[in-house]
């Protein structure tokens, strides 16, 4: 063989191997899902709308899924709603999931016009009127964001025919709010126009949803109106443990320079409200800085978890844990890995990271599949079926991951499900040499569970809703019958 032929043969083989390794893991339409200990029960395409928060509500004898959406895409700014025959800007999907094998799309409530994060209605929380101190007992209230400019409350007692109750507007951004159904106190992620950050907290009394009462604005010192100097990283979202737990866990930063902030709920609601630096510090118990590489998207508290390994210790047998989920932002691993962290906050003024979880990249060549790879969010239901036993993490192109968290010092993956792409799945691009190079991959964005144990995952790249259940060994972790 001459040198030239040897060279050509070498390059030919290299090219074949190179192409093979690059594209072997690319998803194709019609392929089966990739799964372990999780099974598909039912699905709905959600009218091919990019999805954010799902909230599953037991409503009379029905189970209704309320799903928030981002704005539309460059290609399809306002997808067609087949129920109305009209193109509608993405808003909120309402789906009857009483029979999870046959989910029935009931209604789409349009959101703010605008593409991607600039439009839609990403966030959804639901409270029964009979649970709220001053609510209409016959009503079911859905709190949602309206794009970046407002929060809205709808009466969804008849989920196919929602009625707008009230709107809180004139904001410059909104995001992942929290609403206590037993008190009506809401921690709304807003962008008050005069604050120096896009997202901060507005605490409202929504116990009578028709008459919202603002309690205060809240954020980190340096974000308040009139302040100068460095601006602390912006809020992503809070989770409250209500008056009994008396704590609110705030996550700041999304994929960079995150903070977990532990706040005394009573002092937050009833303390001095003028947004001065001292007043903003007053309810803060502790603030734990994360690496500059990671942010806090979800801060999910799990109090007094018994730790088997510590059972015979005379102190510290139970631990208060906060699961912190970062959000991956950039496509194709163009940033430090965003993942899941567990913090022991038992000694509140000395919180400490104790463990972490990520999906092994090599298990699916996820950096090459296209789109985002890394965590985004966890289920937020505190229903006994999974609470303090299992957590479900939306991991973008790695689908949903089921974790055994009974020992939060050593979280272990016990299942996963990566849906197949469909013709509706949107492309995700990176810039190479000044030009877009695009791939199509599943982008599992959010996950929620219901009291029955079903797991609902939704896709940011327009692939819709998948309803799952655990199988095999994963069912035993949750104590579910085989």
Of 282 and 293, which has the nearer Cβ to other proteins?
293
**Helix or strand run (H / E) with residue 11:** helix 3-23
Residues 178-197 that bind other proteins (CB under 8 A): 195-197
**Residues contacting residue 3 through CB under 8 Å, at least 6 positions apart:** none
Concatenating the DSSP letter of every residue in 98-128 gives: SSTTS-EEEEEE--BS-BGGGSEE--EEEEE
Task: Check binding of 75 to other proteins (CB under 8 A).
Answer: no
For residues 40 and 111, give the distance between their C-alpha atoms in angstroms, rounded to a whole number. 29
The residue from 257, 271, 420, 453 that contacts other proteins (CB under 8 A) is: 257
Of 175-183, 228-236, 314-322, 355-363: span binding other proteins (CB under 8 A): 228-236
Task: Check binding of 292 to other proteins (CB under 8 A).
Answer: yes
Window 379-418: contact mask with other proteins (x via CB under 8 A): ----------------------------------------
Of 116 and 387, which has the nearer Cβ to other proteins?
116
Q: Which two tokens stand for residue 140?
A: 């079911």
Of 261 and 381, which has the nearer Cβ to other proteins?
261
* DSSP letter, residue 309: G
Window 431-470: contact mask with other proteins (x via CB under 8 A): xxxx------------------------------------
Of 293 and 310, which has the nearer Cβ to other proteins?
293
Contact between residue 147 and residue 112 where contact means Cβ atoms under 8 Å apart: yes
Window 307-346: contact mask with other proteins (x via CB under 8 A): ----------------------xx---xx-----------
Task: Check binding of 293 to other proteins (CB under 8 A).
Answer: yes
**Helix or strand run (H / E) with residue 146:** strand 140-146
Task: Check binding of 226 to other proteins (CB under 8 A).
Answer: no
Concatenating the DSSP letter of every residue in 43-106 gives: EE-GGG--EEEEEEEEETTEEEEEEEEE-B-SS-SS-EETTTTEE----EEEEE-SSTTS-EEE
Window 20-59: contact mask with other proteins (x via CB under 8 A): ----------------------------------------
Task: Check binding of 114 to other proteins (CB under 8 A).
Answer: yes
Task: Check binding of 198 to other proteins (CB under 8 A).
Answer: yes
Of 18-26, 209-217, 229-237, 414-422: span binding other proteins (CB under 8 A): 229-237
Task: Check binding of 230 to other proteins (CB under 8 A).
Answer: yes
- The site that binds other proteins (CB under 8 A) totals a number of residues, namely 28
Residues 127-186 that bind other proteins (CB under 8 A): none
Q: Which two tokens stand for residue 278?
A: 């001292």
Of 264 and 335, which has the nearer Cβ to other proteins?
335
Of 22 and 431, which has the nearer Cβ to other proteins?
431
Q: 409 burial class (0-12, 13-18, 19+ CB within 10 angstroms)?
A: middle
Contact between residue 479 and residue 87 where contact means Cβ atoms under 8 Å apart: no
Contact between residue 51 and residue 120 where contact means Cβ atoms under 8 Å apart: no
Q: What minimum distance in Å lies between the beta carbon of 119 and other proteins?
A: 8
For residues 382 and 43, give the distance between their C-alpha atoms in angstroms, rounded to a whole number. 24
Concatenating the DSSP letter of every residue in 396-443 gives: ETT-EEEEE-SSTTS-EEEEEEEPPP-TTPPEEEEEETTEEEEEE---
For residues 450 and 453, give the distance between their C-alpha atoms in angstroms, rounded to a whole number. 5
Task: Check binding of 256 to other proteins (CB under 8 A).
Answer: yes
Task: Check binding of 228 to other proteins (CB under 8 A).
Answer: yes
Of 93 and 197, which has the nearer Cβ to other proteins?
197
Binding site for other proteins (CB under 8 A): 114-118, 195-198, 228-231, 234, 255-257, 292-293, 329-330, 334-335, 430-434
């Amino acid at each position: 063989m001459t040198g030239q032929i040897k060279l050509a043969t070498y390059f030919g083989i290299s090219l074949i191997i190179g192409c093979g390794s690059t594209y072997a893991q690319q998803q194709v339409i019609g392929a089966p899902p990739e799964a372990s200990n999780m099974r598909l029960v039912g699905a709905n395409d959600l009218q091919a709308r990019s999805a954010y928060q799902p909230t599953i509500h037991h409503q009379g004898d029905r189970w209704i899924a309320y799903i928030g959406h981002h704005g539309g895409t460059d290609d399809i700014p306002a997808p067609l709603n087949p129920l109305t025959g009209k193109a509608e800007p993405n808003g909120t999907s309402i789906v009857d999931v009483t029979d999870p094998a046959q989910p029935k799309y009931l209604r789409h409530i349009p959101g703010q016009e605008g593409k991607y994060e600039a439009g839609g209605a990403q966030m959804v929380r639901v409270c029964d009127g009979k649970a709220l101190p001053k609510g209409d007992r016959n009503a079911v209230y859905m709190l949602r964001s309206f794009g970046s400019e407002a929060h809205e409350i709808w009466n969804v007692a008849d989920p196919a025919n929602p009625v707008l109750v009230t709107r809180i507007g004139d904001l410059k951004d909104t995001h992942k709010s929290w609403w206590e159904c037993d008190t009506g106190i809401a921690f709304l992620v807003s962008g008050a126009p005069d604050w120096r950050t896009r997202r901060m907290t507005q605490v409202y009394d929504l116990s009578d949803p028709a008459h919202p009462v603002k309690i205060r604005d809240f954020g980190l010192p340096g974000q308040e109106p009139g302040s100068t100097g460095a601006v602390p990283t912006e809020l992503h979202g809070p989770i409250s443990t209500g008056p009994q737990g008396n704590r609110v866990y705030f996550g700041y930063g999304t994929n960079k320079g995150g903070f977990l902030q532990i706040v005394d709920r009573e002092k937050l609601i009833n303390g001095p409200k003028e947004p001065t630096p001292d007043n903003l510090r007053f309810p803060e118990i502790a603030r734990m800085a994360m690496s500059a590489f990671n942010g806090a998207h979800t801060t999910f508290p799990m109090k007094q978890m018994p730790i088997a390994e510590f059972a015979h210790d005379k102190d510290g047998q139970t631990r208060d844990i906060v699961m912190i989920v970062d959000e991956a932002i950039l496509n194709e691993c163009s940033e430090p890995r965003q993942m899941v962290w567990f913090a022991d906050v038992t000694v509140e003024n000395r919180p400490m990271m104790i463990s972490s979880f990520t999906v092994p990249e090599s298990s699916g060549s996820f950096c090459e599949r296209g789109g985002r790879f890394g965590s985004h969010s966890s289920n937020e239901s505190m229903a006994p079926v999974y609470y303090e036993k299992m957590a479900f993490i939306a991991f973008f192109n790695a689908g949903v991951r089921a974790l055994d968290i009974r020992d939060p010092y050593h979280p272990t993956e016990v299942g996963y499900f990566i849906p197949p792409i469909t013709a509706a799945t949107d492309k995700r691009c990176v810039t190479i040499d000044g030009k877009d190079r695009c791939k199509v991959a599943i982008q599992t964005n959010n996950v929620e569970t219901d009291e029955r144990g079903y797991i609902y995952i939704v896709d940011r790249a327009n692939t819709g809703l998948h309803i799952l259940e655990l199988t095999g060994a994963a069912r035993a972790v949750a104590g579910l019958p085989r």
